[in-house]
Amino acid sequence: MAKIGIMSCAHMHAYAYAGCVKALPDAELVAIWDDDSKRGRAAAREFGTKFIADLQKFLSSGVDAVIVCSENSKHRPMVEAAAKAGKWVLCEKPLATTVADAKAMIRACSAAGVGLGTAFPCRFITPVIEARNRLKSGEIGRLHAAACTNNGSFPGGWFADPKLSGGGAVMDHTVHVVDALRWMTGKEFTRVYCDCGTLLHEGLKTDDVGSLHLEMEDGVIVSHVASWNRAESFPTWGDVTFELVGSKGVLSVDGFNQKIDVYSDRVRKTEWAFWGDDANLAMVKDFVDAVDAQRPPSVTGEDGLRALEVTLAAYRSAKSGKMVAV
- The pLDDT score that the predictor gives to residue 201 is 94
- The pLDDT score that the predictor gives to residue 271 is 83
Given CATH 3.40.50.720, say whether it is the number of domain 2-119.
yes
- The pLDDT score that the predictor gives to residue 51 is 98
Q: Report pLDDT digits (tens) over 69-81.
A: 999 999 999 999 9
- The pLDDT score that the predictor gives to residue 5 is 98
- The pLDDT score that the predictor gives to residue 268 is 76
**What are the sequence ranges of the domains in the chain?**
2-119, 122-277+308-325
Percent of the chain with pLDDT over 90: 91
Residue (of 237, 219, 80) closest to 173 by Cα position: 237
Q: Are 16 and 10 in contact (CB under 8 A)?
A: no
Q: Report pLDDT digits (tens) over 254-299.
A: 998 888 888 888 877 788 888 888 999 999 999 999 999 999 999 9
- The pLDDT score that the predictor gives to residue 266 is 83
Low-confidence ranges of the chain (pLDDT < 70): none
Q: What is the pTM of this model?
A: 0.96
- The pLDDT score that the predictor gives to residue 234 is 80
Q: Which fold has domain 122-277+308-325?
A: Dihydrodipicolinate Reductase; domain 2 (3.30.360)
